Structures are given as structure tokens and as C-alpha cells.
């Protein structure tokens, strides 16, 4: 039976075993290449060093979320997949916009290689012509890395391209001679040690990604044929398999990670929902005095104060009806404006931004329900509390705290940390009393 061809001349991938599966809607920029190009992110559930490492949050985003976002935003793939054997990894992958290849037990063992899984995916999806194996443990991957690397295949005819980083390390080999352990130089002459600036260094695989044609994979190779390397700047080369110190990796990601198409600027305005963000949705009503009360976490109040101290305006938004007296008291307590009964949020938010001369890139948004998705996507920085029901991929940051239990404070610290990093990189940091770590280094 002939394979059907869609209107773009592409043959569709076969569906996996899940009934709700649908091909990721992405549009390739390299329209001159007719091959179906798929990104495959391997994320087995059996990580030994860090349990479920692939969905552990790194700077507020599940580890695989960083690379899924970079792959989707590169717009060079016909489909983006996560290959896993774990239900929770599958759930997170789908929430971030990826398709799921549910790998078989035969390629899910501790002894299974990456190539084994990629070959299984290739067999199950015969219409794929080029596969890019993206490592889930490379959170500083950017879309431009993938675009530039793929062009070696689509425009210059290479069969395989893989990422490298240049290292200036002198390597020695351990040699055992007559019971003694000696050292033998591998890439230098000790009598003529070169200066760093006089030596080009060596190209080392950093594991971020491997592009290979289907024909090469069928020969049990990820690298071969006409082969090319793609050199990445060391600042983008963060491998969680090696850099298992999570706080160190988070600092690298905060400085060099990819936060989405709208690169965040220094935030000047935070819009935050009252119900479901500042509070846990509950409004207490007194039976005697018919008074309405809301519970505010002192940590969240401190977070708002931190932002306002650093020149970030905070506006609280409440779409549910509450008394003006309660809103006034809340505004006085928090020291910021409270907008009541916001039914046409987009119109009012646009008016606020226009009045203040702000772009979306300068706005942060903390939301929690379905109607917040459009603002979470547009804002330069956005977040949801841990217990928010909105899709994970709508927000650039997922809080570890729940609504009314520190989510506002956590997002405030995230905003200020990014602000500090941005100003430090620009050489304009003026923080005398940094609220994050007391000083700028």
C-alpha cells in the first residue's frame, strides 16, 4: 500500500501506541530538504545517581523541559520526541509539547545503549530520514545550535554532525611498569609545554546532540560517513551527568540557558493573581460579622517587598468578586495596587503596559488557571505555583512552592536572580545589598 503524502510533500510519521498521541505541530525552516527530520530525547526512568533526574526541576524547569523547548523553538524539526519507559516522564514530556516514543523493555535495561533505543525508534518510524539525538542532560542548549548544526547535513551533504567543546587540558596516561605506576604524556612534550594562547586545544564531545542520517543508523552508527563536528562555546556546555552539583548547574543555566523566544529583559512589572497564587484560593467568611478574610503568607509579602525595593512594580489581580474593603486592606498590607473583578484581563493589562511604556519582555506574570495561559506565554518571565492546573509548558518557570505557601516569594527571588545576572553580564550591576546572596560577584 502506498504511503500517503501530505500537502507539504511530507509523509506522516506512524503513531505510537497511545490513542491520544498527535504529531507535534512544528514547521521546519529548511524547506529545501524533503526528509522528515526528528529530534529524539532519551529519558529513561532508571537514573541511578539522581532518581528521575530527567524530570527533576533545574532552575524551575524539568530537566527535559530545557531541551524540549530549544528543539521546538529551533523550528528545524518535523517532530520532537521523548523516548522513555516511565509514566511520569511521559506526562512531563507531553506537557512540554513533545511526542512520546514508549520504548520497549528490550532497550530499557541498564545495559542498553543510546543507539539501541534510537534504532528501535527508527524502525518504528520508517519515514524519518534524519534523527537528532538530543541529550536531556544539556540544559544550556539553544535553538541556534541545532539550526547551525543541521545545515551541515541539509546544505553541505554531511551524514553525521555532533557537538564538541574545545578543551585545553594536558592529558597523561597511567602506565604500569614492573609494579610501579608511571605517567606518560599523551598530547604534549613536557620539555616544550605550549602556552594556552599558542595551542588550539582539542575537540572533545560534550554530548549535547548527535545528528545522523537514517542510512547511518541502520549501519549501527551515530557517527560515520561524511562526518562534521559542531563546536559549542564552553559556557553552553553543561552536562548534568558530570556536573551533578545541582546548585552549580542552576547558576550556569540562569546565566546561559535558553528561556524561550522572548528573551527576558530586566523585569519592571510583576502581575500576580491573588486567588491561586498569593492565596490558596480560600476566602474565609465570618458567620457573625459577615466579614471576608484571606490568608497571606509572610514569605510572599517579603518577596513582594524585595521586588519593590529593587524598583519592580507589583500589581495584584483578582477576577473573583471580593469586597472593596478587603481589597483596600490587602493593598495597604502588601503595599501595592490591587485590581478587582478583572474580567477583561488582556485589555486591562495592555492598558497598564501602555501607560507605563512597557513591552511584554519587561513584564513578569504569575498565573494559575487556563485563562492565564496567553499571558504566561507572552510575558518575558512567567511562572505557575506547584499546584496550578495550567499546562506546564505555558510558563517559563514552575515553582516548587504551592499557592499561598511561598510561590510568590520563590518567583520574586527568581526574577531578582535573573536581574542580577543580566546586569552583571552587562557590567552595569549597582546592587549594594543584593537580596539573593548579599553581593554581586
- Cell readout for 389 is 492546573
What is the 3-class SS of 358-382, one letter each residue?
Answer: CCHHHEEEECCCHHHHHHHHHCCEE
Q: Is there a contact between 146 and 71 (Cβ–Cβ < 8 Å)?
A: yes
Q: Considering Cα of 346, then 348, then 353, then 354, what sign does the dihedral take?
A: positive
Q: How many residues in the chain?
A: 441
Per-position DSSP letters for 268-281, written without gaps between them: -EEEEETBTTTB-S
Q: Is there a contact between 237 and 208 (Cβ–Cβ < 8 Å)?
A: yes
Q: Where are the beta strands (DSSP E) in 180-322?
A: 180-185, 202-213, 227-231, 269-273, 284-285, 292-293, 313-318
Q: What are phi and psi of 14, to 5 degrees?
A: -75, 150
As a whole number of angstroms, the distance between CA 345 and CA 309 comes to: 26
Kindly name the residue from 27, 193, 333, 439 that is annotated as catalytic: 193
Per-position DSSP letters for 315-361, written without gaps between them: EEEE-S---HHHHHHHHHHHTSEEEES-SSHHHHHHHHHHHHT--GG
Residues 6+ apart with CB under 8 A from 419: 266, 267, 310
Could you confirm whether 27 is annotated as catalytic? Answer: no
- Cell readout for 102 is 514508549
Residues 6+ apart with CB under 8 A from 110: 46
* DSSP conformational letter for 22: -
Indicate which residues carry an active-site annotation.
Answer: 193
Amino acid at each position: 500500500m502506498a504511503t500517503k503524502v501530505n500537502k507539504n510533500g511530507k509523509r506522516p510519521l506512524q503513531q505510537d501506541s497511545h490513542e491520544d498521541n498527535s504529531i507535534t505541530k512544528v514547521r521546519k525552516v529548511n524547506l529545501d530538504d524533503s526528509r522528515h527530520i526528528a529530534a529524539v530525547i532519551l529519558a529513561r526512568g532508571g537514573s541511578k545517581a539522581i532518581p528521575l533526574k530527567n524530570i527533576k526541576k533545574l532552575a524551575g524547569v524539568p530537566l527535559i523541559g530545557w531541551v524540549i523547548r530549544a528543539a521546538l523553538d529551533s523550528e528545524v524539526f518535523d517532530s520532537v520526541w521523548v523516548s522513555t519507559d516511565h509514566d511520569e516522564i511521559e506526562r512531563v514530556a507531553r506537557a512540554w509539547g513533545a511526542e512520546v516514543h514508549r520504548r520497549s523493555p528490550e532497550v530499557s535495561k541498564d545495559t542498553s545503549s543510546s543507539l539501541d533505543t534510537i534504532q528501535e525508534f527508527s524502525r518504528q518510524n520508517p519515514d524519518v530520514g534524519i534523527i537528532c539525538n538530543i541529550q536531556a542532560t544539556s540544559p544550556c542548549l539553544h535553538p541556534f545550535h541545532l539550526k547551525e548544526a543541521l545545515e551541515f547535513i541539509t546544505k553541505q551533504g554531511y551524514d553525521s554532525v555532533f557537538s564538541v567543546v574545545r578543551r585545553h587540558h594536558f592529558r597523561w596516561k597511567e602506565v604500569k611498569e614492573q609494579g610501579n605506576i608511571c605517567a606518560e604524556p599523551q598530547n604534549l612534550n613536557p620539555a616544550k609545554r605550549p602556552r594556552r594562547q599558542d595551542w588550539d586545544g582539542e575537540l572533545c564531545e560534550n554530548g549535547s546532540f548527535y545528528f545522523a542520517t537514517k542510512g547511518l543508523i541502520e549501519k549501527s552508527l551515530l557517527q560515520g560517513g561524511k562526518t562534521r563536528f559542531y563546536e559549542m562555546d564552553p559556557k553552553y556546555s553543561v552536562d548534568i551527568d558530570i556536573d551533578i552539583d545541582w546548585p552549580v548547574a542552576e547558576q550556569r543555566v540562569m546565566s546561559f540557558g535558553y528561556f524561550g523566544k522572548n528573551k527576558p529583559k530586566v523585569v519592571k512589572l510583576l502581575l500576580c493573581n491573588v486567588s491561586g497564587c498569593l492565596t490558596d484560593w480560600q476566602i474565609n467568611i465570618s458567620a457573625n460579622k459577615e466579614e471576608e478574610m484571606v490568608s497571606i503568607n509572610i514569605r510572599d509579602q517579603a518577596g513582594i517587598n524585595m521586588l519593590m525595593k529593587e524598583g519592580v512594580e507589583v500589581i495584584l489581580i483578582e477576577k473573583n468578586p471580593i469586597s472593596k474593603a478587603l481589597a483596600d486592606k490587602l493593598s495597604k498590607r502588601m503595599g501595592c495596587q490591587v485590581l478587582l473583578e478583572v474580567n477583561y484581563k488582556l485589555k486591562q493589562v495592555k492598558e497598564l503596559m501602555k501607560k507605563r511604556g512597557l513591552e511584554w519582555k519587561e513584564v513578569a506574570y504569575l498565573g494559575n488557571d487556563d485563562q492565564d495561559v496567553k499571558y504566561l506565554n507572552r510575558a518575558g518571565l512567567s511562572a505557575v505555583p506547584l499546584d496550578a492546573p495550567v499546562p506546564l509548558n505555558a510558563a517559563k518557570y514552575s515553582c516548587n512552592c504551592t499557592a499561598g505557601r511561598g510561590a510568590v516569594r520563590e518567583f520574586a527571588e527568581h526574577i531578582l536572580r535573573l536581574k542580577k545576572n543580566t546586569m552583571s553580564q552587562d557590567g552595569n550591576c549597582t546592587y549594594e545589598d543584593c537580596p539573593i546572596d548579599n553581593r554581586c560577584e
